[in-house]
Amino acid sequence: MTRAMTFIGLFLTIVIGAGTYWVSHEVERLEKRYSAIQSEILNEQESIHVLEAEWSYLNNPQRIESLAKTYLKLDQIAPLQMASIDDLPEDADLHQYRLDKFGEAVAFLPVPRARPDELAPDEAAEAMIINAPSLAATRSDAKEGEQ
């Protein structure tokens, strides 16, 4: 009985000792790995940081413009190229008819929308005149200092 108890005690001591050793070893190993991962993260963060700077550099509008000019057939959007959804003819309009000059019913044709730069003909003519100043008009300047 005592003998058996002794053996069991001895066995338990060995098992617990080995277990403790294994755990402490494992903790050490994990800690090493943890700090390795930490410095890896730091390295990655630094790479991300450098890549962010590069991303910004590559997004330089001047560069994008020159790339767009080389590879795309796109130009600056003119104001009259922009329209809103309200400018589109409605579905109901398509079923309407109007009478043409011969009195026959023809399908409704949506008219083009008014352009932002549309001026009445006389206004347009006037707008063109101002571009050429008469040379006689350089008579006097804003200020005549004789100091």
Partner 1 sequence: MSFHRFSYWLRGDRPELSPDQRERHAIETARNRIFITGAMFAVGFVWITAGLVDATVLRQGNEPEMASGSDTRELKTERADIVDRNGMLIATDLPTNSLYADARVIKDPVGSADQLLTVLPELDRDTLIRHLSSQKAFVWIRRNLTPEQQYAVNSLGVPGLNFQREERRVYPHGRLFAHVLGFTDIDNNGIAGVERKFDNELRINNGPLQLSLDTRIQYALEEEVESAMKTYDAVGATGMVMDIYTGEVLGMMSLPDFDPHRPGQAPADARFNRATLGVYEMGSVFKLFNTAIALETGTVNLQSMYDASQPIRVGRFAISDYRGENRWLSVAEIIKYSSNIGSARIALDFGTETQRKYLKKFGILDTPKIELPEVGSPLVPNPWREVNTMTISFGHGLAVTPLQVVSGISALANGGILRPATILKQDGAPAGERIISRQTSDKMRRLMRLVVTDGSGKKAEVPGYFLGGKTGTSEKLVNGRYVKNARMSTFVAAFPMQDPKYVVLVTLDEPKGTKETYGFATAGWVSAPAVGKVVTRIAPLLGIEPANAKAPEIEQALQIDLRKGERKLASF
Instruction: Kindly state the tokens that stand for 14.
Output: 């060995």
Q: DSSP secondary-structure letter at 117?
A: T
Residue 19 or 106 having the CB closest to partner 1: 19
Told to check if 82 binds partner 1 by CB under 8 A, we report yes
- DSSP per residue over 106-127, as a string? EE--PPPPPPTT---HHHHHHH
How far is C-alpha 29 from the geometric centre of its chain's CA atoms? 45
Residue 86 or 91 having the CB closest to partner 1: 86
Amino acid in the structure at residue 23 = V
Residue 28 or 46 having the CB closest to partner 1: 46
CB of 106 to partner 1, least distance (A): 27
Q: What are phi and psi of 19, to 5 degrees?
A: -60, -50
List interacting residues with partner 1 (CB under 8 A).
34, 38, 41-42, 45-46, 49-50, 52-57, 59-62, 76-80, 82, 84, 114-119, 127, 130-133, 135, 137-147
